[in-house]
C-alpha cells in the first residue's frame, strides 16, 4: 500500500530519521512507568504548605495536542485516556549542562502534534490558576507520521476545520476519537450500559453463557443470514441471526435463567437503526411469562439509564425520555384499530393488503397476513411511540416462536418495547409445545416458498430438544446498540458502533 506523501508527512519522516541520527529511538520498546493520569494530577493537587514543602512528583504519558513556544520555555497540552493536562517545558529544566539539543532541536523542531511523549516532573499552579506539570525529563514514545486534523475554535465559540464528515469519522474512528473527545464519552457510556444490565441479571441469579456464532441452521429470528462454508466438514454454515434457540436448549438442559450479549449478523439493508453486525442481549427465565417480563424489564431499564446518565431520564433528539416505570401498555391490533377504525385481526389477507395500499404502505406478494399487519402498524402507530411503550399481543402469524395467547388463539403472548419511535426489545411467553412449534415452522417454510427470504428455517434438533420438555419460559431480546443510541442522544446506530460496516476503501498497491 502506498500513497503520495503530503508536505507535512515528508517533514515528519525527515524528523524520524533525524531523531535516530541523534540516538533517540522514535518507537522505543522499553516500558514507560506512568504514575499519574491527567485526571489524577488534577485531583491530587494540594497547595504546598510552604516554600520548603516537598514537590509532588508525577510521571505521565500521552499524545501532544498543542504547543505554545516562547523562546526558552513552552507550554503544551498532553492528552491521555482521561483528558488533557497542561505541561511546562523550559530549556534549562530538561537540558542539564551545556547540551541544549533536547530542547532546541528535538522539542522545537522534531516533535509534532500527535506524537506520544512521556514526561516526568513536579506539579505547580500557574498565575492563571491552571494546574500544570513542570517537566524535568522528556521521553519520545511514538512518532506520528501523519498529522491530525486541526480542529479550531474561535473566540465566539465557532468550530472550524472540524473532523465531522460521517464517512471519514466511521472509517478512521482512531482519528475521530482523538480529535472529537465527546465521541469517546459515547463509548464509555456504552460500557456502563452493558455493565449495569449484566449486573441486574447477575443480581437476579441468572447465568451468562456463550452460544455458537457459526450455525448450521440460522434460527431464532426472521432475517436473511450471511452464508459461509466450513472446509473441514464440507458443509454450509451461517453467521447467527439470533442466539434464541441455543439459549432455549439450555432451559431444556436444566438452567433456570440464562443470558448472553450476542453479536448477531443479518444480511439486510443499512440505515440509521440497522447495521449488518449488531449486539443483542437475550435473557430466558424459566417459570415466567411475558407479563412478568414487562414488570422485570422496567426495573432493568431504569437501572441502566441511571448508570449511563445519573438519572432515569435521557434526552434524545430534543425529546426527554423517562425510563421510570411503569411504562405504557397497548395492544398491536387495538392500536391499529384506533387509527383506522377496523379490527385487522378479523380481516382476510387480501383485505389487509388492500388496506395497506389505501394508506400508502408498500407491500410485496411474498408478505403474509402477519407481515402485512406489521407493516401497517409500523406506518401508522410506531412513529408516535416516543415514551417507553409496551406493544403487546401480536397476531400468531408474526410470532413463530411465541406461545399462543391464553385468551385468544389468534394472538400470541408477545410484546415489543418501543422508545422514540423504534423497537428496542422483543419478548415472548416462549412456545414450548413441540407439536405447535413444528406446525409454526412449517408455516414459515410456506412463506419461504412464496419468496420470503426472511422466513425462518426448520430446526429439527431444536424440535427434538422441545420434545424432551422445556419449562414454561419468558424470553426477551434487547437491541443494545439502539438502547445506547437513546441514552447517548445519537440519532444513528453507526455513532454507537466503534467500527460500523462500510464499503471497503481502495488503496494503491505498492
Other CB atoms closer than 10 Å to residue 356's CB: what's the count?
Answer: 21
Cα separation of 402 and 417, whole Å?
16
With 0-12 / 13-18 / 19 or more C-beta atoms within 10 angstroms meaning exposed / middle / buried, residue 445 is middle
310 band by pLDDT with thresholds 50, 70 and 90:
very high
pLDDT in tens, 407-416: 999 999 999 9
For the cut 70, the answer to whether the pLDDT of residue 152 exceeds it is: no
Of 43-57, 82-96, 256-270, the one with minimum mean pLDDT is 43-57
- How many whole angstroms separate alpha carbon 358 and alpha carbon 435? 38
Q: Is the pLDDT assigned to residue 212 strictly greater than 60?
A: yes
pLDDT tens-digit readout, 288-306: 999 999 999 999 999 999 9
Return the pLDDT at 442: 86
* pLDDT tens column, 351-385: 999 999 999 999 888 888 888 999 999 999 999 99
- Measured CA to CA, the distance from residue 421 to residue 403 in angstroms comes to 26
* Cross-strand bridge partners of residue 238: 215, 227
Judged by average pLDDT, the poorest of 128-132, 385-389, 396-400, 479-483 is 396-400
Which one has a higher pLDDT value, 221 or 42?
42
What's the whole-number mean pLDDT along residues 264-280? 93
Q: Which tens digit of pLDDT belongs to each residue from 129-142?
A: 999 999 999 999 99
Q: List, in sequence order, every residue forming a beta bridge with 316; answer none if it has no partner.
A: 319
Phi, psi (degrees; rounded to nearest 5) at 61: -140, 155
CB-CB contact of 297 with 419 (8 Å): no
State phi, psi for 116 to the nearest 5 degrees.
-95, 130
Residue range 26-47, pLDDT digits in tens:
999 999 999 999 999 999 998 8
Phi-psi domain of 434 (left: phi exceeds 0; alpha: psi -120 through 50; beta: other): alpha
**Residue 174, phi-psi category: left (phi > 0), alpha (psi -120 to 50), beta (remainder):** alpha
The mean pLDDT of 210-216, rounded to a whole number, is 95
* Average confidence score pLDDT of the chain: 93
pLDDT in the model for residue 397: 84
**CA distances to 119, 124, 137 from 54, in Å:** 19, 12, 18
What are the angstrom distances between the C-alpha of 164 and each of 175, 179, 406? 11, 10, 53
Percent of the chain predicted with pLDDT > 70: 96
Q: Round to whole Å and give the CA distance between 186 and 243.
A: 27
> Which domains occur in the chain, in start order?
7-148 (2.40.50.140), 182-213+241-327+387-496 (3.30.930.10)
Amino acid at each position: 500500500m502506498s500513497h503520495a506523501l503530503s508536505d507535512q508527512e515528508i517533514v515528519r519522516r525527515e524528523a524520524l530519521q533525524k531523531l535516530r541520527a541523534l540516538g533517540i529511538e522514535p518507537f522505543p520498546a522499553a516500558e514507560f512507568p506512568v504514575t499519574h493520569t491527567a485526571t489524577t494530577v488534577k485531583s491530587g493537587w494540594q497547595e504546598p504548605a510552604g516554600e520548603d514543602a516537598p514537590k509532588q512528583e508525577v510521571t505521565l504519558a500521552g499524545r501532544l495536542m498543542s504547543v505554545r513556544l516562547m523562546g526558552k520555555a513552552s507550554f503544551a497540552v498532553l492528552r491521555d485516556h482521561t483528558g488533557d493536562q497542561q505541561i511546562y517545558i523550559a530549556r534549562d529544566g530538561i537540558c542539564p549542562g551545556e547540551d541544549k539539543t533536547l530542547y532546541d532541536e528535538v522539542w522545537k523542531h522534531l516533535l509534532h502534534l500527535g506524537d506520544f511523549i512521556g514526561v516526568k516532573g513536579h506539579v505547580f499552579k500557574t498565575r492563571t490558576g491552571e494546574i500544570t506539570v513542570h517537566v524535568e525529563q522528556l521521553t519520545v514514545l511514538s512518532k506520528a507520521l501523519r498529522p491530525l486534523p486541526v480542529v479550531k475554535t474561535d473566540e465566539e465559540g465557532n468550530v472550524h476545520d472540524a473532523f465531522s464528515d460521517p464517512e471519514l469519522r466511521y472509517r478512521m474512528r482512531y482519528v475521530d476519537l482523538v480529535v472529537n473527545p465527546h465521541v469517546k464519552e459515547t463509548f464509555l457510556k456504552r460500557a456502563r450500559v452493558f455493565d449495569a444490565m449484566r449486573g441486574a441479571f447477575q443480581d437476579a441469579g441468572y447465568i451468562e453463557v456463550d452460544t455458537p456464532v457459526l450455525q448450521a441452521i440460522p434460527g431464532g429470528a426472521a432475517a436473511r443470514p450471511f452464508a459461509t462454508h466450513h472446509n473441514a466438514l464440507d458443509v454450509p454454515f451461517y453467521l447467527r441471526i439470533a442466539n434464541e434457540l441455543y439459549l432455549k436448549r439450555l432451559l431444556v438442559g436444566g438452567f433456570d435463567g440464562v443470558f448472553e450479549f450476542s453479536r448477531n449478523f443479518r444480511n439486510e439493508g443499512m440505515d440509521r437503526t440497522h447495521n449488518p453486525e449488531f449486539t443483542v442481549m437475550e435473557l430466558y427465565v424459566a417459570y415466567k411469562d411475558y407479563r412478568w417480563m414487562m414488570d422485570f424489564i422496567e426495573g432493568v431499564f431504569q437501572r441502566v439509564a441511571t448508570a449511563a446518565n445519573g438519572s432515569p431520564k435521557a434526552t434524545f433528539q430534543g425529546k426527554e425520555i423517562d425510563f421510570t416505570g411503569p411504562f405504557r401498555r397497548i395492544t398491536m391490533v387495538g392500536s391499529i384499530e384506533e387509527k383506522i377504525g377496523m379490527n385487522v385481526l378479523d380481516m382476510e389477507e387480501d383485505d389487509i393488503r388492500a388496506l395497506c395500499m389505501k394508506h400508502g404502505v408498500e407491500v410485496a406478494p411474498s408478505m403474509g397476513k402477519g407481515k402485512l399487519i406489521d407493516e401497517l402498524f409500523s406506518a401508522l402507530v410506531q412513529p408516535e411511540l416516543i415514551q417507553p411503550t409496551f406493544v403487546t399481543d401480536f397476531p400468531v402469524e408474526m410470532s413463530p416462536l411465541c406461545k399462543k395467547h391464553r385468551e385468544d388463539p389468534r394472538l400470541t403472548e408477545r410484546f415489543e418495547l418501543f422508545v422514540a419511535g423504534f423497537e428496542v426489545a422483543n419478548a415472548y411467553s416462549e412456545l414450548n409445545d413441540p407439536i405447535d412449534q413444528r406446525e409454526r415452522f412449517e408455516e414459515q417454510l410456506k412463506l419461504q416458498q412464496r419468496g420470503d427470504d426472511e422466513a425462518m428455517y426448520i430446526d429439527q434438533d431444536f424440535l427434538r430438544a422441545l420434545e424432551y420438555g422445556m419449562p414454561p419460559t419468558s424470553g426477551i431480546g434487547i437491541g443494545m446498540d439502539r438502547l445506547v443510541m437513546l441514552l447517548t442522544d445519537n440519532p444513528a446506530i453507526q455513532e454507537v458502533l466503534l467500527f460500523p460496516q462500510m464499503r471497503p476503501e481502495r488503496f494503491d498497491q505498492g
